[in-house]
């Protein structure tokens, strides 16, 4: 654990940032924007941790951090490769990086006056390289950074700076999505409360005419009496506020005049009016309207019930404009998020394999060649080199990708259980066989079987495995013939 550093005064020759940097001019508003997201001191989140791990792998650095700069500390939402959850704000590098609108880069911290007082630079940790893209909100506040750290100096290529900026944008999209989801939940709760109020108000309407008048005018729900031609008869204060009209404008105004002249809005209006004319209640219909006083759009959830034997309807509606706009913004952010992910995958990704070196491109080419076949595939390589990722990539690129990828660690299966584990058994086949058990070959029917550490398969069982690879069938009290393929990996090459 790296101890928390206690600040000392250090001033840089750089006018924009320093170890004892002055606060941003909009610091109060920036901190208010940070509090708006309610993210500080929240538990670890898989989405942020995945982005940090992906950044460390892509940039080949030991440490990647999602940091948020609070009033007196720098808190880490994700800290891949660093056993530290927060640090003092001064002289933190992230506290300086939030002054920048672009990627903040220190090639060699030992020779950079901006970083000399930082404990990670001056202490045993030995920080040398630092690059950070600001986490910038839609209204222009830098809340923190997405940064990468190395213990050796290095340059940051323009393409790497662009990738770091994209990852920071993904982090902000995740924060925005969580904020929107929380607001939608709050609005839905408020909507449920209003609907409950609506129910209680409707029950109270039948008690007395005098009480009805008070409830009608003061109710938080919009109430409207209108003719079958949508001409307004009586409107309460909540409805006038939503529609943007005054008491003097109620008489003679047609309700349908608030609906904009768009195909979707007019279609919804026609369907609702047709139901009313046939004496059918309409419940929960969403309509788009235009306020009379300023022409702004407003969305309402609309209930209407024809009065028996009368020529008018009783209508109630709720203003759900905030809810609709939040859903639209959430859909836009999700589309933006999907686009950025697709761009990263299309440029730098092959399934779960990330990289672009000549050797890795050759592996990808070979994967595409063998994935189109049903032939057994031998994957060789040292432990930890990603043989399972290659097997999964072959499966995902094949016609069998809709079925299962079954993985077996051969070194973990006891010798006396290999036959049962691979080929299965029927009830009564041996002592303790109380019911039929399908083998791994049968589970992989139509899919892919990945045999890790295949060299550990006992010699007595190898003949049966080779027969399966050749004939694609075996006998367990009856013939079963799955159609699939098998991938196997070795920690080292073996003779065949």
**Residue 171, pLDDT score:** 94
Residue numbers of the domain that contains 265: 206-319
User: Which of 296, 319, 342 lies at the terminal end of a domain, its last residue?
Assistant: 319
**Of residues 263, 264, 238, 236, the one with CA closest to residue 250:** 236
Q: Is residue 184 part of a domain?
A: no
Q: Is residue 135 part of a domain?
A: yes
Number of structural domains the chain divides into:
3
**Residue 147, pLDDT score:** 95
**Of residues 469, 452, 457, the one with CA closest to residue 388:** 452
**Residue 61, pLDDT score:** 94
Q: Is residue 286 part of a domain?
A: yes
**What is the Cα–Cα distance from 401 to 370, expressed in whole angstroms?**
14
**Residue 348, pLDDT score:** 52
Question: Residue 106: CB partners within 8 Å, gap ≥ 6?
Answer: 93, 112, 114, 115, 129, 130, 131
Q: Is residue 331 part of a domain?
A: no
If the chain, 496 residues long, is cut into consecutive pieces of 10 residues, what is the mean pLDDT of each piece? 32 36 82 92 92 93 94 92 87 84 91 81 86 93 94 92 94 92 89 86 66 70 82 85 86 85 84 75 81 87 76 84 89 83 63 75 84 84 82 84 83 79 76 76 81 79 73 49 47 30
Claim to verify: residue 357 and residue 482 sit in the same structural domain: yes
Q: HSE on the CB side for 389, CA within 13 Å?
A: 15
Q: Is residue 86 part of a domain?
A: yes
Claim to verify: residue 120 and residue 243 sit in the same structural domain: no
Claim to verify: residue 312 and residue 361 sit in the same structural domain: no
**Residue 20, pLDDT score:** 42
**What is the Cα–Cα distance from 356 to 381, expressed in whole angstroms?**
19
Retrieve residue 141's tokens.
């506040």
Retrieve residue 132's tokens.
């950070």
Claim to verify: residue 110 and residue 212 sit in the same structural domain: no
Claim to verify: residue 283 and residue 391 sit in the same structural domain: no
Retrieve residue 363's tokens.
């592996």
Measured CA distances, 250 to 234, 256, 288, 409 (Å) = 7, 13, 19, 77
User: Which of 122, 154, 170 lies at the terminal end of a domain, its last residue?
Assistant: 170
**In this structure, are residues 74 and 95 in contact, taking their beta carbons and an 8 Å threshold?**
yes
**What is the Cα–Cα distance from 51 to 171, expressed in whole angstroms?**
8
Q: Identify any residues that bridge with 443 across adjacent strands, giving them in sequence order.
A: none
Claim to verify: residue 165 and residue 40 sit in the same structural domain: yes
Q: Is residue 383 part of a domain?
A: yes
Helix 209-218 and helix 158-205, axial crossing angle in degrees, nearest 10: 160
Claim to verify: residue 374 and residue 452 sit in the same structural domain: yes
Q: Is residue 197 part of a domain?
A: no
Claim to verify: residue 213 and residue 278 sit in the same structural domain: yes
Q: Is residue 181 part of a domain?
A: no
């Amino acid at each position: 654990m790296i101890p928390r550093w206690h600040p000392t005064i250090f001033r840089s020759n750089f006018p924009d940032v320093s170890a004892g940097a002055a606060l941003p001019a909009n610091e109060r508003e920036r901190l208010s924007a940070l509090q708006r997201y309610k993210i500080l001191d929240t538990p670890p989140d898989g989405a942020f941790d995945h982005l940090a791990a992906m950044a460390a792998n892509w940039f080949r650095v030991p440490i990647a951090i999602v940091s948020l700069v609070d009033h007196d500390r720098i808190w880490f939402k994700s800290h891949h490769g660093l056993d530290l959850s927060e640090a003092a704000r001064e002289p933190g590098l992230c506290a300086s990086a939030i002054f920048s609108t672009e990627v903040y880069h220190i090639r060699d911290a030992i020779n950079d006056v901006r970083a000399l007082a930082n404990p990670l630079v001056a202490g045993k940790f030995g920080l040398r390289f630092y690059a950070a893209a600001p986490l910038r909100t839609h209204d222009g506040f830098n809340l923190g950074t997405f940064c990468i750290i190395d213990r050796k100096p290095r340059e940051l290529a323009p393409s790497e700076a662009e990738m770091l900026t994209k990852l920071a944008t993904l982090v902000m999209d995740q924060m925005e999505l969580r904020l929107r989801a929380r607001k939608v939940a709050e609005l839905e709760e408020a909507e449920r409360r209003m609907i409950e109020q609506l129910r209680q108000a409707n029950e109270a309407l039948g008690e007395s005419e005098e009480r009805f008048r008070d409830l009608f005018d003061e109710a938080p729900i919009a109430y409207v009496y209108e003719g079958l031609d949508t001409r307004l008869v009586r409107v309460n204060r909540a409805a006038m506020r939503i529609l943007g009209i005054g008491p003097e404008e109620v008489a003679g105004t047609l309700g349908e005049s608030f609906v904009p002249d768009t195909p979707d809005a007019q279609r919804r209006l026609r369907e609702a009016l047709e139901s009313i004319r046939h004496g059918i209640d309409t419940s929960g219909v969403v309509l788009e309207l235009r306020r009379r006083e300023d022409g702004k759009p407003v969305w309402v959830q609309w209930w209407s019930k024809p009065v028996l034997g009368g020529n008018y309807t009783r209508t109630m509606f709720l203003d759900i404009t905030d809810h609709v706009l939040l859903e639209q913004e959430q859909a836009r952010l999700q589309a933006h998020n999907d686009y950025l992910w697709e761009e990263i995958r299309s440029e730098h990704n092959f399934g779960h394999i990330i990289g672009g070196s000549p050797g890795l491109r050759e592996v990808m080419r070979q994967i595409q060649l063998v994935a189109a076949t049903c032939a057994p595939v031998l994957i060789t390589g040292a432990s930890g080199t990603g043989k399972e990722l290659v097997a999964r990539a072959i499966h995902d690129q094949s016609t069998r990708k809709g079925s299962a990828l079954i993985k077996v660690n051969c070194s973990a299966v006891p010798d006396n259980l290999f036959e049962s584990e691979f080929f299965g058994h029927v009830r009564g086949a041996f002592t303790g066989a109380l019911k039929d058990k399908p083998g791994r070959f049968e589970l992989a029917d139509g899919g892919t079987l990945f045999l890790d550490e295949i060299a550990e398969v006992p010699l007595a069982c190898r003949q049966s495995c080779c027969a399966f690879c050749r004939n694609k069938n075996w006998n367990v009290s009856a013939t079963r013939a799955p159609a699939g393929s098998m991938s196997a990996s070795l920690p080292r090459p073996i003779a065949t």
